[in-house]
Amino acid sequence: MRELPGVGHVDGARRDAAADGARVRRLALALALLAAVVLTGGALLGSAPDARADDDDRGGRDAFDDDRWESRDVGDRMDARGEAFPDPGGGAGVPIDFERDEIVASGLSPGDIDRLQARGFFALQRRRLATLDVEEVRFRVPRAYSVASAAQLVRDIAGGATVDANHLYRPAADPCAGRACRVRQLVAWAPLADPCEADITVGLIDTAIATDHPTLRGSRIENHVARGADRKPGGRSHGTAVASVLVGRAPGEVVGLLPSARLVAVDAFHAGSGGDRMDAFDLLAALDQLLALRVRVINLSFAGPSNTLVEQAVQTAERRGAVLIAAVGNAGPRAAPLYPAAYPTVIGVTAVDEALRVYRRAGQGTHVTLAAPGVDIPVANTGGWLARKTTTQSGTSIAAPFVTASVARLLGAHPRLGPEEVRRQLSGRTRDLGDPGQDAIFGHGLLQAVAHCRTAAVPLLR
C-alpha cells in the first residue's frame, strides 16, 4: 500500500514525543523516590529482622549474619585444622572465616623466617608486641599450599612456633528499625555524678569512630590504629554505634552509659569483600596496644573462629588483670560457639529485647555468661549528612557495652577485684531468666548494674 506523504514522519514524531515524555516521567519518579529514601535515612528500603523476625528457628545463617562472610569465589579451601569447608554447590554460601592465602605465627627465629621465605612464603608484616612478649609474623602462603598444609610446614620447620590461620572477625550487630527501648531501666542503670565517672577508662577494639558525630561531641575518646599498613581502612558505623552506647553525650537520644568516662579505642578493622573485618594479626596488635596503655576493661563487640595466638593473648591479658567482655555473636542458636566470647576467661554477652526475649540470632551455649539489652537500641547513625542523627540497632555487639560499663563501675567500687571475682560478682547480681540458674540461652541472667562507685578511678593494669 502506498504511504501518504508526510504521514509516517508525523506518526514517528508523535511516537518520539511520547517516548520522551515517558522517560521524563520515569526520571522524575526515580528522583522523588531517591529523595524520599535519603530524607528517611533509608527507612523506605526496609529493615533487618529483629528478635521476633529473624533468619529462621533452626539457627541457620544468612548473608547478613554478622559473624560470617560469604564468597563468590571460593574454590577448594581447608581450615586451619585440615578440614574442608562444605561447598553447597557452585561455590556459593561458604563462610570465609580466615584469609585464604595467609597464616600468622609467633615464636619464629630469624633463621626460621629465612627458611620459610626460601620455600616461597612471603613475610607480609612482622611486629614485636612488647606487652604480650611475642613477635607475630603474617605470611602469604605459596600457591602450592593450603592454609592447613602451610601451617604444618611451619610447625615442621620451627617446632616451638605457634601458628594458625589468619582468622577474620566481624562486628556482631544487625541494623533494625523500631522505637527506642527503655533499656536503662531493664538493667537498673542509674546515672552517676561526673566525678565518679571522670577517671573511668574503658578500652574498645572495633572499627573507626566518627568522633565528630553530634552524640559524641565532648566525649573523651582517644583513638589508636592497629591495622596493617597494607590494609584499606574500613567504615565507622559499627564503632560509632558501640561508642555511643558507652560514652554518648546526648541524653534521650542514645544510651550513653558512661558519658564522662575515657574511652581508649583501637581501630583494627579493614575493608574487605562483604564489609568491614579484622584479622587475627591485627586483633593481637590491638590487644597489645590496650595492655601497653594499662587499660583494664576491654569491650570486644565482634565474633569469629577460635585462634591459637588470640587465645594465648587473651590468657596473657587475664593474667595481667584485664577483664574482657565480648559479644557471643549472631550466628543463630544452633551455631557452634564463637570467639573470643567462648574463651573461658572472657565474659560472653547475649542480647534480649524489651520483653526479655532472647535475640533470635544470638548464639547459645555454656559460654553465655550474661544477658543485656540488645534489640532496637538507640545508637549514633553515620548514614550521611541528610540521615537522621540516631537510629536503632540490634545484636550482641550492642548488648556487650552494657556489661562493659557495669564492669567499669564495679571496679571503681572494688578496685582490688580480679577478673574471676568480677565475673562472680556480676553473675551473682542478675535477674534470672529462663530455666533457674545458669542456662545456655541467658547465661546467669539479665545484668543488674552496679549503681555506685566508692573511688574516683578504675585502677589501671599492673
Closest C-alpha to 205, from 280, 260, 134: 280
| Sheet strands (E) in 268-411 | 270-272, 275-279, 297-300, 302-303, 323-327, 347-352, 368-373, 377-380, 390-394
Q: Which residue out of 167, 213, 238, 270 is catalytically annotated? A: 238
DSSP single-letter state for residue 372: E
Query: Helix, strand, or coil here: 86?
Result: coil
- Extended beta strands in 242-295, E state: 262-267, 270-272, 275-279
Among the listed residues 97, 206, 276, 288, the single catalytic one is 206
Q: What are the helix (H) ranges across 54-146?
A: 110-118
Cell of 355: 520483653
Q: Which of 106, 244, 301, 397 is catalytic?
A: 397
Buried b (16+ CB within 10 A) or exposed e, 370-407: bbbbbbbbbbbbbeeeebeebbbbbbbbbbbbbbbbbb
Q: Is 206 a catalytic residue?
A: yes
Told to judge if 267 belongs to the known catalytic residues of this protein, a careful annotator would answer no
Q: What is the rounded CA–CA span in Å between residue 76 and residue 95?
A: 12
| Nearest residue to 203 via CA among 145, 153, 265 | 265
Q: At what angle are helices 147-157 and 110-118 packed, to 10 degrees?
A: 130
Q: Is 121 helix (H, G, I), strand (E, B) or coil?
A: coil
How many Cα atoms are found within 13 Å in the side-chain-facing hemisphere of 341? 37
Annotation says 444 is catalytic: no
Q: How far is CA 310 from CA 5, 162, 280, in A?
A: 84, 11, 7
3-state secondary structure of 340: coil
Q: Regarding beta strands 262-267 and 220-225, do their DSSP bridges make them parallel or antiparallel, or are they unpaired?
A: parallel
Q: Which secondary structure element, helix H or strand E, spans residue 24, and what is its range?
A: helix 7-39
Pick from 368, 346, 206: which is nearest to 290 by CA? 206
The catalytic residue positions are 206, 238, 397
